């Protein structure tokens, strides 16, 4: 099957709905409502301490002013000044403690939220259909777990807490400024409007570039991941320069997006800083004029306190503008994460299940509570409210099956055949003829476009997918081994297999001899997809894994194509034992591997053009005969 991939950056051009995305992020945080409430209260204590400190600062300045004017005895002034300073220190200590508690609670919220996000992402990924992975690079999918979640972490752990603290500061400072001087506060409000309009204007223009930046990172990751895996092929065919040129183009697009995004983000800081200085100067001049005109009660101490408040009012706005970069990046990443979470999971409306079975002397099948080595299909009939059991045999029937990966591009056309239990069927044909698609349909990785597939006489769409796939094993050309021991990788075929059954499966696949020569035998740890094993040894473990599953149906998809002739000869006897009594589908280019098949299907253009045993097809002297004698070659 040819992989159909979409452009990694094609999913989104700009955030479709930033408010909806942010609301979804808050939805992940609902578990921590009380943490957030307590963090807000602690934040209020922090802001309140800052305002209280300002009040006592004004009082201290008044004391100093009176002392300078010698209107109050010196000793009394010093005592009063000391009291105010002591109270200020106590207030700021309480404020610092409140700030620490607030940030610590919000840290718990951020890490817990990211745990929930990553868990839901992985759970959703495990429920997605194979088609989702066929259409996307591994790097693009991985970027959801790395780049996008990192941006989200930065926003939740730093962005949101700073924004919350800044908003509380702005509100508190505004209230106190109104108490001090409503007239001076008016000047600050005018500058506040200018700042908000500036942030909105620059932010609106820059938002799309943050999405392009995230999409560009995903595309670059996908490209790097693809060529890291294929580095041997790149060097064998001297494609280094061409590969570098391809990356330069992708990296160039990413550089442009990052430059544009960061330009809009970084320009906010100096603009907001200068606007705050302008606000400070305007407020100072206006306050001095009001004092000289006698319209500002409190005089210089009040003006100094007010100017301190005006700086404390501007700083949160500057902090919010600083967080804008991270917030926009996080929203872009969060939107991509939400698209993954909103992907439709693999549907499964099957209700026929596979159960442990027992057979009495009369041949009646009943369900068993423990493993018996025998299995049956449990079929509940809704119309009659009855349940029947059918023996698990391994008969497969395709009835007028047609299939399209993409509308208007048929891959299989009206394919029909019946495979009796225990038969060995070979599928041969050119690349893209539809051989692997047949096995994909049998596993219900995809569903047929037209026609029906029956398994033991049951329409496979009625069979629960987990049970359907548990009833068959696949040995693929591209072997994937997991981090863990050799024993664990064989047991992956059946999680409840005993050590003895694992070793028996290895013996059956003729893998036992090389496993026993490993440093720790079956307990040898494998890493990096079994890089410390040869390709043939990895394939033998894959065959042993299938043997451990002990299914009635076995699919060998180019299973021996990566194994040398000597290794293939070594496993031939084991493979024969593995295939005995099972329905076997063999997909192969080597015609020598299919000679002993009960029936061979020659597939071209999505149709079975010849079928029969090896001898029958040779006698027909058709396409298969030409392929076998070398008069014609598979493409």
Selection from 419, 203, 212 nearest residue 321 by Cα? 203
Whether domain 18-341 has CATH 1.20.1560.10: the reply is yes
Nearest by Cα to 489 from 499, 501, 481 = 481
SS3 369: coil
pLDDT for position 611: 92
Q: Burial, 315: exposed, middle or buried (Cβ in 10 Å; 0-12, 13-18, 19+)?
A: middle
d(CA 545, CA 499): 13
CA distance 323 to 320: 5
Query: Domain 398-629 - what CATH class?
Result: alpha beta
pLDDT of residue 7: 38
Sign of the C-alpha dihedral computed for residues 263, 265, 268 and 269 taken in this order: negative
Answer whether 601's CB lies under 8 Å from 417's CB: yes
Closest Cα to residue 250, out of 222, 231, 229?
Answer: 222
Q: Which residues pair with 259 in a beta bridge?
A: none
Q: Assess contact for 188 and 177: CB atoms under 8 A.
A: yes
Instruction: Please check whether the two domains, 18-341 and 398-629, share a CATH topology.
Output: no
> Is 181 in contact with 306 (CB distance < 8 Å)?
yes
* CA distance linking residue 307 with residue 177, whole number of Å: 9
Strand partners, 554: 473, 584
**DSSP-based three-state secondary structure for 494:** coil
Q: Residue 58 has what pLDDT? A: 63
Q: In a 3-state reduction of DSSP, which class is residue 554?
A: strand
The two structure tokens encoding residue 98: 């409140």
Domain spans of the chain, in order of start: 18-341, 353-392, 398-629
pLDDT confidence of residue 352: 92
The pLDDT assigned to 234 comes to 64
**pLDDT score for 1:** 41
The two three-digit tokens of residue 413, written as one number: 């056309």
What is the distance, to the nearest Å, from the Cα of residue 370 to the centroid of all Cα atoms in its chain? Answer: 37
* DSSP code per residue over 241-276: HHHHHHHHHHHHHHHHHHHHHHHHHHHHHHHHHHHH
pLDDT, residue 522, reads 92
Phi, psi of 132 (to 5 degrees): -60, -40
> CA 340 to CA 221: how far, in whole Å?
17
User: What's the DSSP call for residue 146?
Assistant: I
Residue 397's CB: how many other CB atoms inside 10 A?
Answer: 18
Residues in the chain: 635
Backbone φ, ψ for residue 554 (5° rounding): -130, 130
Q: Which residues contact 36 (CB under 8 A, 6 or more apart)?
A: 29, 105, 106, 109
Q: Residue 603 and residue 426: Cα distance in Å, rounded? A: 10
Distance between CA atoms of residues 200 and 193, nearest Å: 11
Split the chain (635 residues) into runs of 10 and give each run's mean pLDDT.
38 57 82 87 81 67 59 62 76 84 83 85 85 79 81 78 78 79 79 73 67 76 70 62 81 81 69 72 77 71 75 70 70 84 87 88 84 86 87 91 90 92 87 85 91 93 90 81 87 86 87 88 83 82 86 79 62 66 80 80 90 90 82 50
**C-alpha to C-alpha distance for 487 and 257, rounded to whole angstroms:** 48
Residues near 51 by Cβ (< 8 Å), separated by ≥ 6? 172, 173, 175, 176
Find the Cα–Cα–Cα–Cα dihedral 505, 506, 509, 511, rounded to 10°. Answer: 180
Give the model's pLDDT for residue 228. Answer: 67
Are the CB atoms for 415 and 438 separated by under 8 Å?
yes
Cβ proximity of 4 and 134 under 8 Å: yes
- C-alpha to C-alpha distance for 484 and 530, rounded to whole angstroms: 9
Interatomic CA distance for residues 567 and 509, integer angstroms: 11
Q: What is the C-alpha separation between 49 and 269, in angstroms, rounded? A: 27
CB count within 10 Å of CB 16 equals: 12
Query: H-helix or E-strand containing 436?
Result: helix 435-442
| Residue 429 φ/ψ, nearest 5 degrees | 155, 175
Helix crossing, 299-341 with 182-229: angle to 10°?
Answer: 30
- Phi, psi at 588, each rounded to 5°: -150, 150
CA 251 to chain CA centroid, nearest Å = 22
Residue 490's nearest CA partner among 477, 475, 478 is 475
**Amino acid 340: pLDDT:** 87
In 128-239, where does DSSP find H-type helix? 130-134, 138-143, 149-154, 160-180, 182-229, 231-236
What is the Cα–Cα distance from 318 to 306, expressed in whole angstroms?
Answer: 18
Q: What CA–CA distance (Å, rounded) separates 50 from 45?
A: 9
Q: Which two structure tokens, joined as six digits, stand for 504?
A: 């028996």
Interhelix angle 535-549/565-579, nearest 10 degrees: 0
217: tokens are 């990172």
């Amino acid at each position: 099957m040819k992989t159909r991939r979409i452009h990694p950056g094609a999913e989104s051009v700009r955030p479709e709905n930033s408010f909806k995305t942010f609301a979804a992020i808050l939805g992940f945080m609902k578990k921590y409502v009380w943490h957030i409430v307590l963090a807000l209260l602690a934040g209020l204590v922090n802001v309140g301490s800052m305002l209280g400190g300002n009040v006592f600062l004004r009082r201290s300045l008044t004391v100093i002013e009176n002392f300078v004017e010698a209107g109050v005895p010196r000793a009394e002034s010093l005592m009063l000044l000391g009291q105010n300073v002591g109270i200020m220190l106590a207030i700021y200590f309480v404020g610092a403690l409140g700030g620490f508690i607030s940030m610590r609670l919000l840290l718990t919220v951020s890490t817990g939220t990211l745990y929930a996000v990553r868990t839901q992402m992985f759970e959703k990924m495990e429920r997605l259909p194979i088609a989702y992975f066929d259409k996307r690079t591994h790097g693009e999918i991985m970027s959801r777990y790395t780049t996008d979640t990192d941006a989200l972490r930065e926003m939740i752990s730093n962005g949101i807490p700073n924004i919350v603290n800044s908003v509380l500061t702005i509100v508190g400072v505004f209230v106190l400024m109104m108490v001090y001087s409503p007239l001076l506060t008016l000047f600050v409000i005018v500058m506040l409007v200018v700042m908000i309009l500036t942030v909105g204007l620059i932010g609106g223009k820059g938002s799309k570039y943050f999405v392009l930046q995230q999409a560009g990172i995903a595309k670059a990751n996908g490209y790097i991941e693809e060529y890291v895996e294929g580095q041997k092929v790149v060097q064998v065919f001297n494609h280094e320069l061409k590969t570098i040129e391809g990356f330069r183009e992708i990296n160039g697009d990413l550089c442009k997006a990052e430059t544009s995004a960061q330009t809009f983000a970084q320009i906010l800081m100096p603009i907001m800083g200068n606007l705050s200085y302008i606000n400070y100067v305007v407020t100072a001049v206006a306050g001095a004029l009001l004092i000289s005109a006698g319209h500002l009660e409190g005089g210089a101490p009040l003006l100094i306190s007010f100017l301190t408040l005006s700086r404390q009012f501007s700083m949160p706005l500057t902090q919010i503008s600083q967080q804008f970069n991270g917030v926009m990046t996080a929203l872009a990443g969060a939107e991509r994460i939400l698209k993954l979470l909103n992907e439709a999971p693999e549907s499964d409306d099957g209700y026929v299940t596979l159960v442990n079975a027992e057979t009495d002397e009369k041949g009646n099948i009943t369900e068993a509570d423990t493993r018996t080595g025998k299995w049956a299909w449990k079929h509940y009939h809704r119309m009659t409210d009855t349940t029947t059991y059918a023996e698990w045999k391994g008969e497969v029937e395709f009835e007028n099956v047609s299939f399209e990966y993409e509308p208007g591009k048929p891959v299989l056309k009206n394919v029909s055949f019946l495979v009796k239990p225990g038969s060995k069927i070979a599928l041969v044909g050119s690349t893209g003829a539809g051989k692997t698609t047949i096995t994909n349909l049998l596993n219900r990785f995809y569903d047929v476009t037209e026609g029906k597939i029956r398994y033991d006489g049951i329409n496979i769409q009625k069979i629960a997918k987990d049970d359907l796939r548990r009833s068959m094993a696949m040995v693929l050309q591209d072997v994937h081994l997991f981090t863990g021991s050799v024993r664990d990788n064989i047991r992956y075929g059946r999680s409840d297999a005993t050590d003895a059954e694992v070793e028996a499966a290895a013996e059956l696949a003729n893998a036992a001899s090389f496993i026993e020569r490993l440093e720790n035998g079956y307990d040898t740890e494998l890493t990096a997809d079994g890089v410390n094993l040869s390709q043939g040894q990895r394939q033998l473990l894959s065959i042993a894994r299938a043997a451990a599953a002990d299914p009635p149906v076995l699919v060998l998809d180019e299973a021996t194509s990566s194994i040398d002739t000597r290794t293939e000869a070594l496993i031939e006897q084991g493979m024969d034992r593995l295939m005995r009594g099972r329905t076997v589908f063999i997909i192969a280019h080597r015609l020598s591997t299919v000679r002993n098949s009960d029936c061979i299907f020659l597939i071209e253009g999505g149709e079975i053009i010849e079928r029969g045993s090896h001898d029958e097809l040779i006698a027909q002297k058709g396409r298969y005969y030409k392929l076998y004698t070398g008069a014609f070659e598979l493409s």
